[in-house]
Amino acid sequence: MAGNTFGQLFRITTFGESHGGAVGVVIDGCPPNLDITEEEIQKDMDRRKPGQSDITTPRKEQDVIHILSGVIDGKTTGTPILLLAHNKDTKSEDYNHLKDLYRPGHADYTFQAKYGIRDYKGSGRASARETLARVAGGAIAKKYLKEKLGIEFISYVEQVGDIKTTIDFNTVTMEQIESNIVRCPDQEIAPKMIRLIEEVRDDGDSIGGIIRGMIKHVPAGLGEPVFDKLPADLAKAMISINATKGFEFGSGFDGVMLRGSQHNDSFYTDANDIVQTKTNNAGGTLGGISNGQTIYFRVAFKSVSTIGKKQQTVTTEKKAIELEASGRHDPCVLPRAVPIVDAMGALVIMDHYLRHKAQNL
């Protein structure tokens, strides 16, 4: 395996490069008879696509998705689904000056070390453009899980630099998230985040932050003990996204300050005779298996590596030089990373749901 496939029963394989002809995904294991259209998938693609606001990359890609197999008359057939989006606005000449050097913070050096060759035009498979394929595959998983189980995926920008919202994540709605270009549900904090991103952009720099993710209405029983615990697979899914530097689940690092008597979530039975917990410090799983409560986590994203400021680096011939990079890049990845976090969460839950069904016939 070359690391291009994710999942076991619901499995995606992504392909394509940032400056190649197209980027796409093959989805294997999708159940038949799910109603799905290109228009439904496109809604998620539009949330991730470049050029959607003044605080994202100016690259203009419509990321129009095409269903090339696995769907007939608007229904999945149970066979592999191929989704494809053509690259239209590449401008590969912008990268010619990067051919013989290693950009600080990028995968140029490590790809060269691994393969003995690298795609210097837009970073090839190391480019975040690959994530459009994940979002496309995740859109189908989200549709199935919503219709079958009522599961919802809600992620938003919680922090940019040192600017953070303290809004109760349990109250956040999609309408609040999509009400501004930074995708922060806090209407007082969002403008401050936007101004900070604009400032670093105008200074030729970049900035990172944190995305809060939630998965609601997950039934109890999903996840496998030991190596394939639900939070373990979520961690792998999130850390596989470009520019991620940290993953925190449930109470996370703050939980170390709580004693067991404070951290344990007490059980009770509600009016519908369903087992619930009074608190949710565990973050929706126990022993790596979902307990029916909301799954919540945080993902840290670093600042974008390609910046307009001068940086010290070396050439492929190991000669020291000074680089002032050019090209079209996001000053902050977070607004466009929100739908990617949703998609990766959906892929994990979809895979574990099918695994659960296969084991519990």
> What are 190-227's pLDDT values in tens digits?
999 999 999 999 999 999 999 999 999 999 999 999 99
DSSP output for 103-172: -TTSSHHHHHHHHS----STTGGGSGGGHHHHHHHHHHHHHHHHHHH--EEEEEEEEETTEE----GGG-
The model's pTM is 0.95
- Expressed as residue numbers, the domain containing 292 is 5-359
Contacts 24+ apart (CB under 8 A), 83-86: 83/24, 83/25, 83/27, 83/41, 83/133, 83/136, 83/137, 84/22, 84/23, 84/24, 85/22, 85/23, 85/24, 85/45, 85/61, 85/132, 85/133, 85/136, 86/21, 86/22
* pLDDT over 80 (residue 89): no
Task: Provide the number of structural domains found in the chain.
Answer: 1
The number of C-alpha atoms within 13 Å of 75 and in the hemisphere containing its C-beta is: 6
pLDDT band at 361 (very low <50, low <70, confident <90, very high): confident
Token reading at 287: 């022993």
What are the C-alpha distances in Å from 49 to residues 41, 59, 62, 152, 174?
12, 9, 7, 22, 18
pLDDT at res. 290 = 98
CATH of the domain at 304: 3.60.150.10
pLDDT at res. 90 = 65
pLDDT band at 351 (very low <50, low <70, confident <90, very high): very high
pLDDT band at 92 (very low <50, low <70, confident <90, very high): low
- CA angle 160/165/167 to nearest 5° reads 150
Residue 122 near residue 19 (C-beta atoms within 8 A): yes
pLDDT band at 329 (very low <50, low <70, confident <90, very high): confident
pLDDT at res. 57 = 81
Token reading at 206: 């970049």
pLDDT band at 26 (very low <50, low <70, confident <90, very high): very high
* pLDDT over 70 (residue 246): yes
97-153: per-residue pLDDT in tens? 788 999 999 999 999 999 999 988 878 899 999 999 999 999 999 999 999 999 999
pLDDT at res. 32 = 98
What are the C-alpha distances in Å from 42 to residues 138, 145, 149, 193, 335?
12, 18, 22, 27, 17
pLDDT band at 325 (very low <50, low <70, confident <90, very high): confident
Angstrom distance (rounded) from CA 346 to CA 151: 9
Angstrom distance (rounded) from CA 227 to CA 216: 23
Mean pLDDT to the nearest integer, 311-332: 87
* pLDDT over 60 (residue 1): no
Angstrom distance (rounded) from CA 301 to CA 243: 5
Amino acid (one-letter) located at 150: G
Residue 36 near residue 74 (C-beta atoms within 8 A): yes
Backbone angles phi, psi at 152, to 5 degrees: -120, 145
145-187: per-residue pLDDT in tens? 999 999 999 999 999 999 999 999 999 999 999 999 999 999 9
Angstrom distance (rounded) from CA 142 to CA 41: 10
What are the C-alpha distances in Å from 29 to residues 38, 76, 176, 274, 360?
19, 10, 34, 31, 17
Angstrom distance (rounded) from CA 30 to CA 139: 12
Mean pLDDT to the nearest integer, 270-295: 97
pLDDT at res. 171 = 96
pLDDT band at 69 (very low <50, low <70, confident <90, very high): very high
* Closest to 240 (Cα-Cα) out of 113, 337, 143: 337
* pLDDT over 90 (residue 62): no
Measured torsion, CA atoms of residues 40, 151, 8, 38, in degrees rounded to the nearest 10: 0
pLDDT band at 37 (very low <50, low <70, confident <90, very high): very high
Mean pLDDT to the nearest integer, 224-236: 97
Mean pLDDT to the nearest integer, 76-94: 87
256-279: per-residue pLDDT in tens? 999 999 999 999 999 999 999 999
Mean pLDDT to the nearest integer, 74-97: 86
